[in-house]
Every structure is written in C-alpha cells, then in structure tokens.
Homo-oligomer: A and B are copies of this chain.
Amino acid sequence: MGLKVYADRMSQPSRAIIIFCKMNQIDFEEVRIDISKGQHRTPEFEKINPMKQVPAIIDGRFKLFESHAILRYLACSFPSVSDHWYPNDLTSRAKIDSILDWHHANLRRGAMTYVFNSALAPALGFSLNAQAAEEGKKLLSSSLLKIKSFWLKGNSRFLLGNAQPSIADLSLVCELMQLEVVDSEERQRVLEPHQEIRDWMENVKRATHPHFLEVHGILYKVKARLESRRNRVSPKL
C-alpha cells in the first residue's frame, strides 16, 4: 500500500504537498477531501487525521498531518528527492526550518485571514468580515516586507539566496497564490509594491512547471466564479 495524500486543492498546504510529490516523482494516490462539502468532518476522515484538517498522509501504516512535517518527512524518506528541497547540511536545513516556523503566525495567518474574510468565507458557509480582513491584510503586508528585506535580499532567486527552491519557497508561494481569489484590483494593490515578491513567485512557478500551474487549476476556477459573482453584485460601469 503506497503513499496516500488526503488533500483539497483549495487548501494552500495541500497544493504544496501535491506539487512536491509530482516534482520529485513520488508515487502517490491523491484522495480528495472537499472542505466546502464538510468531508473533513466525517468519522472516516477523523480516523486519518483527528484534527480534521487537510493535508494528511498515510504511508503504509504511518499517518501524519501538518504540511511542514509532511514535507520534511517526504524529503527525508524518498531517495528521489533532490537535496535542495531540504538540504542535508545542518545550517542550511535550520534556516529553512526557521522560515517554515515563522510562516505559521505571520504570512499564513495574515494571508489566510485576509483571503477568508474578504473573499472565500461565503463558499464555506460563513460571512465576510471587513474588519478581520483588514487586520489580516496588515499582517500580510508586514510579512511580505520581512520576506523581501531579509530572505530575498540582493537578487535572490529563491529564499535565503538559494539557486534552487526549497520546501520553504513552495510552502510560502502556495500560500500567496490564494490571493488569486481576492478582487483583482485589491490583489494588485497588495502585491504592486513588492517587485521582489512577484519575481520570486514567478521563479517558483517556473521551477515547478508544469505541476504548479496544473495543481492551481481549481484556484483559477474558483477565482472566475467569485469574480463573476462580484460583478453581478456590482457590475463595473
């Protein structure tokens, strides 16, 4: 029984795992858990992940959740994974760990709060919340500044000045892709001051082509649906 990845491609960390596996020729079965249909709350899925969240994996009899733990495990367990994703060198590895840890309470929290409360909430049965969205946006913007000034300084192609992407690049850029579902002009205003961020996102997309585009397909569909709904509500004159 091979590797199973329980995922919803609308979930940023789910996408990171799927892209990582495809890039590294890791054989896996993708099991779709549709969050918008509450499939993460079924008793069957609770046996896979008692925290009722995606992504989660089963490798043989070994179950694991939390995307960063999963990415580390896959990088260390599968010999086909190139070293640059999660280097064996301890100091290089530690610096990637540092970014992955920082991510939770910073970029992830900011971006997720902003996107959920300004765009995605209705798709999951909740209402929008402009105040919460604004707080999220502040944290998102300050996180982008920190990434830019610290981890992308100089002419860095990838975080930490690396020449090739690591699991930190993949995780953080998948998070930022979620901004696609926000109103386009809003999204442009958020990203416009950050040339280095936009360049970095392009670098990651190119380095993980064609899987990045393919895995993000669902996001563009949802983006189109939400945009058409927004235009119906307030057609642009």
Name A residues whose Cβ lies closer than 8 Å to a Cβ of B.
50-51, 62, 64-70, 72-73, 76-77, 90-91, 93-95, 97-98, 100-102, 104-105, 108-109, 146, 149-150
Could you tell me the distance in whole angstroms from the C-beta of A164 to the nearest C-beta in chain B?
Answer: 20
CA distance A73 to B89 in the complex (A): 11
Pick from B91, B97, B100: contact of A62, CB below 8 A: B91
Are A64 and B149 closer than 8 Å at their CB atoms? Answer: no
Q: Contact partner of A72 among B50, B51, B94, B102, CB < 8 A? A: B94
Contact yes or no, A69 B94, CB < 8 A: yes
Within the oligomer, what is the number of copies of this chain?
2
Structural contact, A68 and B90, CB atoms closer than 8 A: no
Contact at B51–A77, with CB atoms within 8 Å? no
Cα A102 to Cα B13 in complex, Å, equals 13
Given A50-B150, A150-B50, are A105 and B109 neighbors across the interface (CB < 8 Å)? yes
Once bound together, how far apart are the Cα atoms of A105 and B13, in whole Å? 14
Q: What separation, in Å, do the CA atoms of A67 and B73 have in the docked complex? A: 20
Are A90 and B77 in touch, CB under 8 angstroms? yes
Listed by A's residue number, 8 A-B pairs whose Cβ atoms lie within 8 Å are A62-B94, A65-B98, A69-B94, A69-B98, A69-B101, A70-B94, A72-B97, A73-B97
Chain B residue numbers with a CB within 8 Å of A62 are 91, 94
